[in-house]
Structure 1
């Protein structure tokens, strides 16, 4: 077995093998949603190896070698094309890199999703860790969480299962309980920010998908969307949270929203607990 989890399918020290993951991701991808693959009479149960090779611009033999767990110097360009073809989530893309080449990707997300190309992931994580004890996290343009510190995970365990902040706010029932005054203080400002970013980046596919998914799945979001409110950011806003880690006690926080000078495609959020407000609650 190679050190990247290649040949053995089960019980490996590294968890699931790369071949097992690739086959699972390939079989769940519907070819009918991919232009050029939707041929008449074709079944929709996943992609073939030939499909994936065609979508990534390599030979079927080349892709087959990867799916068999054969070790090679697979390029970042190829792995990113593969991530796109298999429609991988950010966490799945990171797993692909770790299993295939033994390291994390330089970019946490493909540029299509709104991630700046020159982000130093290590420096970003150090910055987030240096905000302790304040919870801090970073998102890309489409509100995918690309980094967080330990206090953030304690306050919001959902980041381990739902990597998009906006989708959690609107599509997870627990958000209505955890975010005090959900509609006025959280949902409407978020939709206003989404409308603002859509106006600034009208052709961004990740933002378009986010808008479509939220409005299709949340009647409350559709009603609020019709207000046509536009909000740039929530920096300095005072908000309240009801935290499970504190047995439902309300916590008042000031939202500190930052963006690097080099790019407006990255957000860094720090939640600073307001002790005066907590004391008065």
Structure 2
């Protein structure tokens, strides 16, 4: 240990982001990723092209990050990259610090009792919905369980994310949720109001309402409409996600609630072939 600063020679702060990214790529087995060509490779691990493809960006954009070039890297991109490289929470933290100089936003904390009800049987149900993305959220929309297609569509879900905070506080959501204001924001605000009426003592819901209105001032006008919605079930919505390569995908939003609990929601996104009517 260096007595001058109290840090060891192997302190991760001494490593550049470029070194970390190359190391994370090299430890990943291409065979573990569906759709990657593995025959004829001369080196182990993922290539820069592989990572760019898995993260839904151009190879040039990813290469710029690995070279240490400064740019306006979004939280959505960094979360997709974290998911592609299968980083641990500590490694994701290091990625954020190296790329944009600040840690990722604090994750919402699921309600303890609700999180405890996420068991193996419910996880098997989620996995059984594949290829449709599916997830479980608690009373305050903290994502506490999901299947692999959901993680591929929404990489942020792997980091104890909150659906409503992502929808209203992230720039990416307004681009990825087609017709964000009318089809997603207004119904979601109505659902939050409905939940607040039925669970007036919930501190998690109170914080959620406060954080959304404080962090997204333009939402206040929609909130003042005092619309109330119960959960959607079968509504047709459109998504335009990086994993879809610019293609709009219509989905039916199916909402379920386990009979054993009123604190959990199960949501399945069923891709629709009919699309959204113009009317």
Same fold (TM over 0.5): yes
Measured after TM superposition, the shift of residue 263 of structure 1 is 1.5
Deviation >2 Å, runs of 4+: 88-91
TM-score (norm 1): 0.59
CA distance in 2, matches of 1:272, 1:153: 15
Equivalent in the alignment of 2:253 = 255
Unaligned runs of 5+ in 2: 1-9, 12-105
Unaligned runs of 5+ in 1: 1-9, 12-87, 92-107
Q: Do the aligned partners of residues 120 and 166 (structure 1) sit closer, same or farther apart at CA in structure 2, a change above 3 Å counting?
A: closer
Equivalent in the alignment of 1:270 = 268
CA distance in 1, matches of 2:115, 2:152: 28
Match of 1:233 among 228, 231, 234: 231
Equivalent in the alignment of 2:149 = 151
Q: Is the 1:116–1:263 Cα contact (8 Å) retained in structure 2? A: no
Measured after TM superposition, the shift of residue 164 of structure 1 is 0.3
Q: Is the 2:151–2:157 Cα contact (8 Å) retained in structure 1? A: yes
**What is the alpha-carbon root mean square deviation over aligned residues?**
2.5
Measured after TM superposition, the shift of residue 154 of structure 1 is 0.9
Equivalent in the alignment of 1:85 = none
Q: Is the 2:169–2:215 Cα contact (8 Å) retained in structure 1? A: yes
Q: Is the 1:141–1:265 Cα contact (8 Å) retained in structure 2? A: yes
Measured after TM superposition, the shift of residue 237 of structure 1 is 0.3
Measured after TM superposition, the shift of residue 160 of structure 1 is 3.1
Measured after TM superposition, the shift of residue 137 of structure 1 is 0.5
Q: Is the 1:252–1:278 Cα contact (8 Å) retained in structure 2? A: yes
CA distance in 1, matches of 2:119, 2:260: 14
Equivalent in the alignment of 1:5 = none
**3-state SS of the aligned residue for 2:268?**
strand
Q: How does 1:1-281 map to 2 (within 5 A)?
A: 89=107, 109-111=111-113, 115=114, 119-161=117-159, 163-277=161-275
Q: 1:219-245 CA deviation, whole Å, 9 max, x = no partner?
A: 122111000000011111000000211
Q: Is the 2:108–2:160 Cα contact (8 Å) retained in structure 1? A: no
CA distance in 2, matches of 1:214, 1:164: 11
TM-score (norm 2): 0.59
Q: 1:65-124 CA deviation, whole Å, 9 max, x = no partner?
A: xxxxxxxxxxxxxxxxxxxxxxx9568xxxxxxxxxxxxxxxx6413xxx276x251111
Q: 1:4-43 CA deviation, whole Å, 9 max, x = no partner?
A: xxxxxx89xxxxxxxxxxxxxxxxxxxxxxxxxxxxxxxx
Equivalent in the alignment of 2:57 = none
Q: Is the 1:136–1:152 Cα contact (8 Å) retained in structure 2? A: yes
Equivalent in the alignment of 2:98 = none
Q: 1:224-275 CA deviation, whole Å, 9 max, x = no partner?
A: 1000000011111000000211111000000110001122110000000001
Q: Is the 1:259–1:268 Cα contact (8 Å) retained in structure 2? A: yes
**3-state SS of the aligned residue for 2:212?**
helix
Aligned length: 177
